[in-house]
Amino acid sequence: MSLSNFPAQPTDSRVEGGRPGLTRPGIGACIHDGLRVGLRMSWRLSLVLVPAGLFVFLLDLIGLLAPVAALLDPVMALAGLPGEAALVFATGALITIYPAIGVMSSLSFSASEITVMALMILICHNLFVETAVQARVGSNPVRIVAVRVFTALVVGVVVGRLMGLEAAAGRSLSTEFQIGFPGWTPALAAFSSWFVGTAHTLLRIVTIVVLLMIGQRLLERSGVLRRVAQIFEPVVVLLGLPRSTAFLWIVGNTLGLTYGAAVILEERARGELSLEDADLLNHHLAVSHSLFEDTLLFVALGAGVVILIVPRLVAALCVVWLRRLTRTRTRTRPRTRSRARHQATGIPAHSAGSNLREDRP
């Protein structure tokens, strides 16, 4: 999920990648537009973050969060996380990053636990919306969901263990939990603490979002993204992607999956990107996208920035090369069977009119 899921209305003055023929706004206009859109996005984020955080706060206040989290302790224990982390992960995976941040900020986690949870959420979030976007590009939605969920769990377990996280012993279902209203005095004290913490989180997010929106417009104005694409071509090839996807890779990893998918669709419509290349790029972006916007939101909560970026790129590399391998084997298998069949019948393959079609992604 990216902040670009709340896109601003397009204007005639916006320059896309420095392409000629479009009016180039001044620096002042870029700053003004970025400030306006950043504040509007921040307001929309608060409408999601605050209610989600308040809901979790109330569950925790009356004691309902503890028994729910206890059921999920074994799952999160694999990554060295407490059971409450499962609620954070499920919120991000099924809804978006922002309610997950609200849930995370309403509970008590260490910096290492926040980092591992953030990494898992950054890989697997907003599945319904983002999968629909990628399916429109041409990828198999079931495969995309499976890749994101499985990769998030595996990466979470590996990184959690490498960071030395050790979850507390799982609580038994027979454990007695105290459920009920604790009284007005402790409730008001807890609410005051939650309110102050949430306000600080919102302030940090507003600052980051506004700066990101201004920076994005300045990059669009200068056309720097397309020029930098040439520099990143070797990196793209290492990641298992065609050189022609370098600019699209930069867009997806800077502006987010939504803007990335929009540019991919445009390239497909113009015939400059094949369906197979688009599918490979989709598999990469499914695991690693919006390396700046979404990442910095969790950095504001105390997560480690390097750990949030490097494992995603490594995981995306593995996913793409594995996809290339399985695709090659899928193509080779029917051709091998066809040759064997023709050899058995003595009929040449070309006379049977068997021009084998490449499998769609």
Domain boundaries in the chain? 19-168+188-315
Tell which residue, 290, 304, 225, 286, has the closest CA to residue 3: 290
pLDDT in tens, the chain (361 residues): 444 444 444 444 444 444 444 466 788 888 998 898 888 877 877 787 788 778 878 877 887 766 766 666 777 888 889 878 888 888 888 778 888 898 888 888 899 999 999 999 999 998 887 888 888 888 999 999 999 999 999 999 999 989 988 765 544 444 556 677 778 888 898 889 889 888 887 887 788 778 877 886 787 788 786 777 788 899 999 999 998 898 889 888 887 786 667 778 777 877 888 999 999 999 999 999 989 888 988 998 889 999 999 999 999 999 999 999 988 877 666 555 555 555 655 555 444 444 433 444 5
pLDDT above 90 covers a percentage of the chain that reads 24
Provide the residue type at 138 as one letter.
G
Task: Tell me how far apart the alpha carbons of residues 62 and 54 are, in angstroms, rounded to a whole number.
Answer: 12
| Contact of 212 with 292, CB cutoff 8 Å | yes
Angle, CA 40 vertex, CA 59 and CA 20 arms, to 5°: 135
H/E segment holding residue 56? helix 27-61
> Which phi and psi (to 5°) does residue 331 adopt?
-75, -40
Task: Tell me how far apart the alpha carbons of residues 29 and 254 are, in angstroms, rounded to a whole number.
Answer: 21
Provide the residue type at 88 as one letter.
V
Q: Token pair for residue 32?
A: 């003004």
Tell which residue, 137, 115, 347, has the closest CA to residue 252: 137
| Contact of 15 with 22, CB cutoff 8 Å | yes
> Which phi and psi (to 5°) does residue 360 adopt?
-75, 150
Angle, CA 148 vertex, CA 146 and CA 153 arms, to 5°: 95
Chain centroid to CA 284: how far? Answer: 11
Distance linking the first and last C-alpha atoms of the chain = 23
Tell which residue, 243, 265, 256, 13, has the closest CA to residue 126: 256
pLDDT of residue 146: 95
| Contact of 318 with 347, CB cutoff 8 Å | no
